[in-house]
Structure 1
Amino acid sequence: MEERRCFLVELEGLTSYADGLALQEAAFERVRRGTVDGILILLQHSPVFTIGKSGGRDNLLANQETLRQLGIDVYDTTRGGNITYHGPGQIVAYPIFSLKKWKMDLPWFVTSLEEVVIQTLREYGIRAGRKPKYRGVWVGDKKIAAMGIAVKRWITMHGFAFNINVNKEHFALINPCGITEFGIVSLEDLAGSVDFGEVMGIVKEKFAKVFEANFREVSRGWLESDDILAKTGVAEEAHSK
């Protein structure tokens, strides 16, 4: 295994999208400086719809009042893809990696992210795979994990959202990823009740295996040190709250 300087930040509770984005930017700055090769952020978001560079506002089926009542934010983002949902009961992984230290190949990177989820599901006896037309991880015709990344200077941002026991009523307010012919599914629909922390632990193991790296766990305080957040700021703003 090639020696890479990699770190892991796992957040407890729910994290707002703005907070998660600020942490991504702090991680990006550390990787850009060359002091580390990769930082993996794992968290659960408060309810939010995010819209990618491919658009997707036309796939938002709820009006502003409904979103306000449900407490769901909407953000335009720099990641690829269409509209998707993040919320409680979902593992969101943000790998901020310098691909110069792995492979400067974006399809390989996204395929590797999918592989992390596929191998995690295999631990629960679930056979998952890919669809030629659509990125993400699928169990039959139902998507269990969505992918969406952004890359600058060969440093990645954003990542995947893996449904463990997600709120399907929230998902029903959009056409996820602009796809109308297929649905979504959670791990608990397939495997029964699971321990969220256990799944998170397996995801960590699979990241280490797939990306051939040892991730040293650190606190968000380490990530926010040196006033990095103050220097970078938040590039994306909420358009509804």
Structure 2
Amino acid sequence: MILLNTLFTLPTPLHTRKANPTKAISASHQALRRCVCYDLHKQLIPYQEAWSWQKSIVRTRHSLLGQDEDHSDVVVVLQHPPVFTLGTGSSEEYLNFDVKNPPYAIHRTERGGEVTYHGPGQLVMYPIVNLRYHKMDLNWYLRSLEEVIIRVLSSTFSIKASRIEGLTGVWEIRRLLQ
């Protein structure tokens, strides 16, 4: 595992905490806001292993909340062996194969969305963000995630990516045109 030296500043200023709207986030938190990137992009990490690691990071960060030490956001960059993930509201009808005899592993996840395929050559970025330090708005959150991913792809991997109007996600235009 490589911890990149790259720290990204966040795209918008900090806001008050949701749990106590009268208490502003301290200046020390503002000075310490950063995003740490774990670069595992050359490795194939099984989905279940990556998911367990993410939950471990979240548990650790959650334990720091009472000490007011939860200062950095995290993004994990990796690839998976072939796997299908199904969000909480997804339907197996979108799988075009017999689920009793799948071509690859299938995992139900706690995220939203439908069926997603992950496989070798596809960079997957998992953000771990404490939204108490940000705006509590889904559209803002998704656009901010896209912006961070665009910045990571550009500065770390020299990949030019952008948004496509009307779609959620980040796209490498060159590959879409092929």
TM-score bracket for this pair, using the shorter chain length: 0.5 to 0.7
Give 2:48's aligned amino acid: A
Tell me the alpha carbon deviations over residues 198-230 of structure 1, each in whole angstroms, 9 at most, x when there is no partner: xxxxxxxxxxxxxxxxxxxxxxxxxxxxxxxxx
Task: Give the letter for the 2:136 counterpart.
Answer: M
Corresponding residue for residue 92 of structure 2: 57
Unaligned stretches of 5+ residues in structure 2: 1-8, 10-29
Which structure is higher in strand share?
1
Residue 60 to residue 101, structure 1, CA distance change in 2 (3 Å): same
| Cα RMSD, aligned residues only | 3.0
1:32 corresponding residue in structure 2? 62
- Structure 1 CA distance, aligned partners of 2:163 and 2:145? 12
Alpha carbons 1:31, 1:96 under 8 Å: kept: no
SS at match of 1:9: strand
User: For residues 190 and 5 of structure 1, do their structure 2 counterparts lie closer, same or farther at Cα, with a shift above 3 Å needed?
Assistant: same
**Alignment length (residue pairs):** 140
Query: Any stretches of 5+ residues in structure 1 without a counterpart?
Result: 139-143, 145-184, 192-241
Provide the residue aligned with 1:13 in structure 2. 43
Q: Which whole-Å deviations, capped at 9, do the CAs of 1:15-41 have from their partners, x for residues lacking one? A: 111001001101111221234332221
Q: TM-score, normalised by structure 2?
A: 0.64
Distance 1:82 1:129, change over 3 A: same
1:1-241 equivalent positions in 2, closer than 5 A: 2=30, 3-4=32-33, 6-11=35-40, 12-33=42-63, 34=65, 35-37=69-71, 38-64=73-99, 67=102, 70=103, 72-118=104-150, 120=153, 128-132=162-166, 134-137=167-170, 188=175, 190=177
| Paired residues of 1:51 and 1:82 also in contact (CA < 8 A) | yes
Relative contact order higher in (CA < 8 Å, ≥ 6 apart): 1
Per-residue deviation, 1:82: 0.7
Measured after TM superposition, the shift of residue 50 of structure 1 is: 0.6
Question: Which residue identity is paired with 1:110?
Answer: L
TM-score normalised to structure 1 length: 0.49
Larger Rg: 2
Q: Deviations over 1:108-164 (max 9, x none)?
A: 11111222445547x6666x43343x42235xxxxx6xxxxxxxxxxxxxxxxxxxx
Do the aligned partners of 1:7 and 1:39 also contact (CA within 8 Å) in 2? yes
CA distance in 2, matches of 1:39, 1:29: 13
**Quick one: which amino acid aligns to residue 81 of structure 1?**
G
Q: Using the aligned pairs only, state the percent identity.
A: 34
